[in-house]
Amino acid sequence: MSQILIIYTGGTIGMMSDPATKVLKPINFEQIMDNVPELEKLNCKIKVHSFEEIIDSSNMNPAIWSQLAGLIEANYETVDGFVILHGSDTMAFTASALSFMLENLAKPVIFTGSQLPISAIRTDAKENLMTAIEIANAKKNDKARVPEVAIYFDYKLFRGNRSFKYNSSKFEAFRSPNYPILAESGVHLRFSVNDIRQPGNEPLIVHKNLMGDVAVLKLYPGISPKVVETILSSDVRGIIMETFGAGNTSTDAWFIDMLKNAVDSGKVILDISQCKVGTVELGRYETSKLLKDIGIANGYDMTYEAAVTKMMHLLGQIKDPQEVKQYLETDLRGELTIS
């Protein structure tokens, strides 16, 4: 019988309302098990690692991502798949980060959580947890059906580094508009075979070194030179620039000059769009041709979450800004589509 490791970090799925204060408080995994007796019926053995201190996902950070990667590395040879219980607010960041940290991954790493606590009558937690385990356990010809980092929520499985949380009040919390879903749960589990990445035969390589000195420059009409200068002159190596439409920005001389000076000083600037659907096309419009000419990196259709964590990952491995730029524009884990 196969074995699945559940890593319990926290999140709404592991909350219970305090009868006196009505405030949601974290519970331990044994209490979660008490609320889902159906787990005993699954055709797999379940192993559990619970964080000693339950974490609100708002407090997630690169050090915890490295801890998660280390747990996967330590158990990789002895289990068939992983399910990570995580708060939904930053789940897409953690899933994206782990997709880059786990090179040559050949086993499922499925994130899930819930919008309502597992103790609530109308909770979505039970279905999310049960199906996430089924997906992590699913095999065909003795090979994992989903050998990548993914998020399961509300009957859909998304590639982790293609998804983002878009709704805090519906069970349908996540979307992946630039990439198809990997699987859908109904009466049967239906896998989108052609959309799931297939691993090679190389051994797992775990990259735990992440560099957090990344800043974000989100553009808006009327942004002042003072604001732009403050961000571009900050003591960071990488900057995510959220631009308009297909990657467009102002062509004012002061703005382009500031960007060029930042690039010339060794900073890596990645252009992603504020639009949730579509891709950056540097050079398509005059307003983005200048960016391409001065060495701004093209983020194509990466999500904000993937862009931030990919930048952190590459800065932790590579010193040369040009090499970082090259890999930012390269599809490493299915996170972007080169148009």
- What residues pair up with 85 in beta bridges, in sequence order? 8, 112
- What residues pair up with 6 in beta bridges, in sequence order? 48, 83
Phi, psi of 32 (to 5 degrees): -65, -45
Dist CA 250 CA 241 (whole Å): 12
**Catalytic (active-site) positions:** 12
Q: Which of 316, 84, 87, 335 is nearest to 206 (CA)?
A: 316
| Residue 114 token pair | 């819930």
